Structure 1
Amino acid sequence: MADTLLFCNSHGADQPERATVPFIAAATAAVSGKRAVVVCTVEAVNLGVPGVADGIEEEGMPPLGDLVRQFTDAGGEIWLCSACALKRGITGEQELVPGASIVGAATIVEALAEGRAITLS
């Protein structure tokens, strides 16, 4: 996993600009052929639910829904923190956006230990 770039995001509709910036960078990485993962915690886990990102847009930036689709279409992965998701009623029993999965802390810690984390939000 040493060639994996991790983009940390803890924001969603609560702070559209901070939610968008990690996806701009991650989409750029994925389109460039890098393995890119957006690690969503706190409010950002809601972005794993279909339709949520479509309602988020910051003036002067691309719509978040478009970025999420561009990112996942290029092979990007979205990891939703299991504790944060559970707190918000996201269990994985419902449909998630393509490329999204719920992961535990051990997966995130392992990736952080072996990869490169980039915090932009």
Structure 2
Amino acid sequence: MSDKLIFNCTYGKEEPERATLPFVAANIAAATGQDAIVLCTIEAVWLGTQGGTDGIAQPGLPVLADLYAEFVDNGGQVWLCGACAKPRGITEEHLVKGSTIVGAAKVVEEVVAGAMTVAFA
């Protein structure tokens, strides 16, 4: 069984609360030594790009740019859905520290290996 935790994030700038909450939970996991991944799909793929978290702040929650950096510093990984990144023109050269473009096969591999998933709807 895997000890990975995958937190799915589907929202970006248009929904600051929904964009931030998966990073809050994932950062708690990473800070306590868990293998934490935020899987960004749909509009959330922009969060792993240069300037992608700029200006995203929900009252009562950490500023997303700061939280993103803290999460990565705590050992967290940000996976961007390749099928979502491609039609948006997002390539490796657009990524910030800690983010990687992955295919669905990688996600399925981790889930089959026992990774637990958390979704914020």
- Normalization by structure 2: what TM-score? 0.94
Deviations 1:36-62 (A, max 9, x none): 000000000000112221221111111
In structure 2, what is the equivalent of residue 101 of structure 1? 100
Deviations 1:3-48 (A, max 9, x none): 0000000001011100000000001100111000000000000001
In structure 2, what is the equivalent of residue 85 of structure 1? 85
Q: How many positions carry a matched residue from both structures?
A: 120
- Alpha-carbon distance in 2 for matches of 1:90, 1:7: 21
Q: Secondary structure at 1:53's aligned position in 2?
A: coil
In structure 1, what is the equivalent of residue 37 of structure 2? 37
Q: Secondary structure at 1:117's aligned position in 2?
A: strand
Moved over 2 A (4+): none
Q: Which amino acid aligns with 1:77?
A: Q
In structure 1, what is the equivalent of residue 61 of structure 2? 61
- Normalization by structure 1: what TM-score? 0.94
Shift of the alpha carbon at 1:112?
Answer: 1.9
CA RMSD of aligned residues (A): 1.1
**Runs of 5+ unmatched residues, structure 1:** none
- Alpha-carbon distance in 2 for matches of 1:13, 1:54: 9
Deviations 1:58-112 (A, max 9, x none): 11111000110010001100000001001111021x1411111000010011112
- Alpha-carbon distance in 2 for matches of 1:112, 1:120: 17
- Alpha-carbon distance in 2 for matches of 1:26, 1:39: 10
- Taking every aligned residue pair, what percent have the same amino acid on both sides? 49
